[in-house]
Amino acid sequence: MGTRGTQIVGMDVQELLKLLNAAYASEWLAYYQYWLGAKLIKGPMKDAVAAELNLHATEELAHATLLSGRIIQLGGTPVLAPDQWAAFSPCPYDAPSDPFVGVLLDQNIAGEQCAISIYKNLMDITREADPVTYNLALTILSQEVEHEEDLQSLKEDLELMFRRQ
């Protein structure tokens, strides 16, 4: 833990660590949902969509890495066991039980929309209190916004495939 770096945080550090761990747990669930969805996917455009799902999986894992670094910097402990991820995460894990491309896209769009809310909330809470976490949340939020748009644009392409004149 960085002593002075933690002292300058203008809010309850335990409260902040709870929010960071919630985001951290969500990232692992998002990573797995994407990673497995990319393997199970069936239907039109599946190769293009699987490539995007795989890329997003690696980006969610990178978010988990960033969050674990900040948690440890602040003297906290990242969620220790995978069986605690769902309990910590404000975003539900949506199992890819239906492999149809359209269903997977919808599930992951919902996941991105939940992630966007997490980081917007984290930014609102840290705006004045913690510029380091604020900056981290901004970095991740920018990528979640990109993820949402990527998936919505693939969904739009999928729908256009069935358009008649």
Which spans of this chain sit near Mg ion (rule: CB under 5 A)?
150
Query: Which residue's Cβ lies closest to Mg ion?
Result: 150
Pick the binder of Fe ion from 25, 76, 89, 147 (CB under 5 A).
Answer: 147
- State the nearest-atom distance from the C-beta of 55 to Fe ion, in Å: 10
Pick the binder of Fe ion from 20, 63, 74, 155 (CB under 5 A).
Answer: 63
Distance CA 71, CA 76 (A): 5
Residue 155 sits in the site that holds Fe ion (CB under 5 A): no
78 within 8 A of 68, measured Cβ to Cβ: yes
Residue 52 sits in the site that holds Fe ion (CB under 5 A): no
Size of the site for Fe ion (CB under 5 A): 5
11 within 8 A of 68, measured Cβ to Cβ: no
Residue 148 sits in the site that holds Fe ion (CB under 5 A): no
| 100, β-bridge pairs | 42
Residue 94 sits in the site that holds Fe ion (CB under 5 A): no
Residue 144 sits in the site that holds Fe ion (CB under 5 A): yes
63 binds, among Mg ion, Fe ion, none (CB under 5 to 8 A by kind): Fe ion
- State the nearest-atom distance from the C-beta of 147 to Mg ion, in Å: 6
| Residues at the interface with Fe ion (CB under 5 A) | 27, 60, 63, 144, 147
